[in-house]
Structure 1
Amino acid sequence: MKNARIVRTALALAVCSSAVAAAPVAATARTPGRVTVADPAQYVVPFVGTRPGAPSFGLGDGAGNTFPGAAAPLGMVQWSPDTVAYQYGGYAYDDDRIRGFSLTHISGAGCGDYGNIPFLPVLDGAPADFAEFSHADESASPGSYAVTFGNGVRTELAATPRSGIARFSYPAGHTASLTVDPGQGFNDASGYVALGTDSISGYTDSGGFCGTANRYRIYFSVVFDRPFSSSGIVAAGRVDTGRRSASGSSKGIAPQPARTAAAQAARPAGGGEQQEGVRPEAVPRASGAKALVSFDTAAGPTVTARVGISFVSVEGARANLAAEQAGAGFDQVRDAARRSWNDLLGRVAVGGGTTRERRVLYTALYHAMLHPSVLSDSDGRYPGFDGQVHTVPAGHARYADFSGWDVYRSQTQLLALLAPAEAADIAASIVDQGARAGYFDRWTLAADGTGVMVGDPLPIIAAGIHAFGATGFDAAALVRQAVAGRQDDRERPGHGPYDRIGYVPAGTDGTWGSAATTLEYTSADFAVAQLAARIGDGASYDLLMHRSTGWRSLFNGASGYLQPRRSDHAWPAFTPDQQDEYVEGSAAQYTWMVPYNHRGLFDAMGGDGAVTARLDAFLADLNAGPGSEHAFMGNEPSLKAPWAYVYAGRPDRTQDVVRRALTTLFGDGPDGEVGNDDLGELSAWAVWAALGMYPQVPGRAELVLAGPLFPAVTVRRGGDGPVIELSAPGASAAARYVHGLAVDGRASTRPWVGEDFVRNGGRLDFTLGTDPAPGLGGDPADAPPSFDVGPARPVTGAVGGPAAKCLDVRSGGTADGTPVQLYGCNGTEAQRWTRASDGTLRALGKCLDVSASRSDAGAPVQLWQCNDTGAQQWWPKADGTLVSTPSGRCLDLAGGATADGTPAQLSDCAGTGARAWTVPG
Structure 2
Amino acid sequence: MRDRQFFAATRAPLAVAAALLVAGAAPPAVAHRAASPRTAISDPAQYVNPFVGTKPGGIDYGNGGGAGNTFPGATAPLGMMQWSPDTVTYQHGGYFYDDQRIRGFSLTHISGAGCGDYGNIPFMPFLGDTPVAHETFSHAHESAAPGSYAVTFDNGLRTELTTTQRSGMARFSYPAGQAASLLVDAGRAFNKASGSVTVGTDTISGYTDGGGFCGAGNHYRIYFTAHFDQPFAKAGTVRDGALDASRHTATGQSEGIAPQPPRSAQAQRLRQPTELVHPDAPATGSDAQAMVTFAPGSTVTARVGISFTSAAGAEANLDREQAGAGFDKLRDGVRSNWNDMLARIAVSGGTTQQKRTFYTALYHSLLSPCALSDVDGQYPGMDGQVHQNPDGKVQYADFSGWDVYRSQIQLLALLAPKEASDVAQSVLNQGAQAGYFDRWTLANGGTGVMVGDPLPMIAAEIHAFGGTDFDAADLLSRALDGRGNDKERPGHAVYDNQGFLPVNTPGEWGPAAGTLEYATADFALSQLAERLGDREDHDALLHASANWRNTFNADSKYIQPRTADHTWPSFNPNSGDNFAEGNGAQYTWNVPYNQRGLFDAMGGNASVTNRLDSFFQQLDAGPGAPYAYLGNEPSLFAPWAYDYAGRPDRTDDVVRSAVTTLFGDTPGGEVGNDDLGEMGSWAVWGMIGLFPMVPGRAELVLGSPLFQGITISRGNGAIIDIKARNASADARYVHGLRVGGQASTRPWVSADLVGQGGTLDFDLATTPDPSWGHDPKDAPPSFDVGPARAASGPITGLGGKCLDVDQGAGPTVQLWGCNGTNAQRWTLAGDGTVQAAGKCLDVDGSGTAAGTVVQAWPCNGTGAQQWWPRPDGSLFNPPSGRCLDDPQSRTDDGTRVQLWDCNGTGAQHWVMLNH
1:781 aligns with 2:777: yes
2-structure distance, mates of 1:565, 1:275: 32
- Residues 125 and 293, structure 1, Cα contact 8 Å, conserved in 2: no
Q: Shift of residue 798 of structure 1?
A: 2.3
Q: Shift of residue 898 of structure 1?
A: 5.3
- Residues 500 and 855, structure 1, Cα contact 8 Å, conserved in 2: no
Report matched runs for 1:377-776 at 5 Å: 377-718=374-715, 720-776=716-772
Q: Shift of residue 902 of structure 1?
A: 4.6
Q: Secondary structure at the match of 2:538?
A: helix
2-structure distance, mates of 1:820, 1:221: 79
Larger CA deviation: 595-604 vs 75-84: 595-604
Larger CA deviation: 848-857 vs 523-532: 848-857
Q: 1:807 to 1:290 in 2, by over 3 A?
A: farther
Letter in 2 for 1:517: G
2-structure distance, mates of 1:473, 1:882: 38
Aligned position for 1:160: 164
1:894 aligns with 2:893: no
Report matched runs for 1:348-363 at 5 Å: 348-363=345-360
Aligned position for 1:15: none
- Residues 210 and 259, structure 1, Cα contact 8 Å, conserved in 2: yes
Q: 1:815 to 1:907 in 2, by over 3 A?
A: closer
1-structure distance, mates of 2:880, 2:717: 46
2-structure distance, mates of 1:820, 1:640: 42
Q: Secondary structure at the match of 2:506?
A: coil
**Equivalent of 1:837, from 827, 830, 847?**
830
Percent of counterpart pairs with the same letter? 63
**Equivalent of 1:149, from 150, 153, 161?**
153
Q: 1:432 to 1:843 in 2, by over 3 A?
A: same
Q: Shift of residue 276 of structure 1?
A: 5.4
2-structure distance, mates of 1:567, 1:687: 41
Letter in 1 for 2:186: P
Report matched runs for 1:269-418 at 5 Å: 275=275, 277-279=277-279, 281-283=280-282, 285-296=284-295, 301-418=298-415
**Equivalent of 1:52, from 56, 63, 69?**
56
Q: Secondary structure at the match of 2:911?
A: coil
Q: Shift of residue 909 of structure 1?
A: 3.0
Q: Shift of residue 539 of structure 1?
A: 1.6
1-structure distance, mates of 2:912, 2:112: 51
- CA deviation vs aligned residue, 1:169-212 (integer Å, no higher than 9, x gap): 10012222111011000000000111121111111001000111
1-structure distance, mates of 2:750, 2:505: 39
Q: Shift of residue 826 of structure 1?
A: 4.4
Q: Which is bigger in relative contact order (C-alpha 8 A, separation at least 6)?
A: 2
1-structure distance, mates of 2:647, 2:493: 39
Q: Shift of residue 277 of structure 1?
A: 3.6
Q: Shift of residue 896 of structure 1?
A: 4.5
- CA deviation vs aligned residue, 1:754-784 (integer Å, no higher than 9, x gap): 1111111000011111111110000001100
When the two chains are superposed, the root-mean-square deviation of aligned CA atoms in Å is 1.6
Gaps of 5+ in 1: 1-29
1:185 aligns with 2:189: yes
2-structure distance, mates of 1:824, 1:203: 81
2-structure distance, mates of 1:131, 1:827: 88
Q: Shift of residue 543 of structure 1?
A: 1.1
Q: Shift of residue 913 of structure 1?
A: 4.0
1:904 aligns with 2:897: yes
Letter in 1 for 2:848: S
2-structure distance, mates of 1:698, 1:813: 41
Aligned position for 1:875: 868
Q: 1:131 to 1:616 in 2, by over 3 A?
A: same
Aligned position for 1:820: 814
- Residues 56 and 276, structure 1, Cα contact 8 Å, conserved in 2: no
- Residues 400 and 444, structure 1, Cα contact 8 Å, conserved in 2: yes
- CA deviation vs aligned residue, 1:343-387 (integer Å, no higher than 9, x gap): 000000011110000000000000000000011110000111111
1:221 aligns with 2:220: no
- Residues 814 and 893, structure 2, Cα contact 8 Å, conserved in 1: no
1-structure distance, mates of 2:655, 2:789: 33
1-structure distance, mates of 2:599, 2:572: 20
Aligned position for 2:69: 65
- CA deviation vs aligned residue, 1:123-178 (integer Å, no higher than 9, x gap): 23321111111101100000000001111111000011100011011001222211
Q: Secondary structure at the match of 1:728?
A: strand
1-structure distance, mates of 2:899, 2:557: 27
Larger CA deviation: 879-888 vs 172-181: 879-888
1-structure distance, mates of 2:128, 2:725: 61
Q: Shift of residue 811 of structure 1?
A: 3.9
**Equivalent of 1:174, from 168, 171, 178?**
178
Report matched runs for 1:73-88 at 5 Å: 73-88=77-92
- Residues 433 and 440, structure 1, Cα contact 8 Å, conserved in 2: yes
2-structure distance, mates of 1:779, 1:282: 59
Letter in 2 for 1:870: G
1:103 aligns with 2:107: yes
Q: Secondary structure at the match of 2:39?
A: strand
Q: Shift of residue 554 of structure 1?
A: 1.4
- CA deviation vs aligned residue, 1:32-54 (integer Å, no higher than 9, x gap): 52011000000000000000001
Q: Shift of residue 901 of structure 1?
A: 4.9
Aligned position for 2:804: 809
1-structure distance, mates of 2:824, 2:394: 60
TM-score of the aligned structures, taking structure 2 as reference length: 0.94
**Equivalent of 2:855, from 855, 858, 862?**
862
Q: 1:802 to 1:383 in 2, by over 3 A?
A: farther
Aligned position for 2:28: none
Q: 1:895 to 1:607 in 2, by over 3 A?
A: same
Q: Shift of residue 534 of structure 1?
A: 0.8
Q: Shift of residue 501 of structure 1?
A: 1.5
**Equivalent of 1:196, from 200, 203, 207?**
200
1-structure distance, mates of 2:801, 2:329: 80
Q: Secondary structure at the match of 1:217?
A: strand
Q: Secondary structure at the match of 2:523?
A: helix
Q: 1:656 to 1:247 in 2, by over 3 A?
A: same
Q: 1:743 to 1:276 in 2, by over 3 A?
A: farther
1-structure distance, mates of 2:202, 2:537: 59
Letter in 1 for 2:803: D
Letter in 2 for 1:820: Q
Letter in 1 for 2:404: V
- CA deviation vs aligned residue, 1:560-600 (integer Å, no higher than 9, x gap): 11111111111111112111111111111111111111111
Q: Shift of residue 873 of structure 1?
A: 0.6
Q: Secondary structure at the match of 1:593?
A: coil
- Residues 499 and 888, structure 1, Cα contact 8 Å, conserved in 2: no
- Residues 74 and 161, structure 2, Cα contact 8 Å, conserved in 1: yes
Q: Secondary structure at the match of 2:315?
A: helix
Q: Shift of residue 825 of structure 1?
A: 4.3
- CA deviation vs aligned residue, 1:741-764 (integer Å, no higher than 9, x gap): 100101111111011111110000
Gaps of 5+ in 2: 1-33
- CA deviation vs aligned residue, 1:296-321 (integer Å, no higher than 9, x gap): 36xx7210001111111000000001
2-structure distance, mates of 1:475, 1:256: 35
- CA deviation vs aligned residue, 1:414-450 (integer Å, no higher than 9, x gap): 0000000101110111111111111111100000100
- Residues 47 and 669, structure 1, Cα contact 8 Å, conserved in 2: yes
2-structure distance, mates of 1:554, 1:97: 50
- Residues 252 and 284, structure 1, Cα contact 8 Å, conserved in 2: no
1-structure distance, mates of 2:909, 2:317: 63
Report matched runs for 1:1-40 at 5 Å: 33-40=37-44
Letter in 2 for 1:841: V
Q: Shift of residue 327 of structure 1?
A: 0.4
1-structure distance, mates of 2:283, 2:442: 23
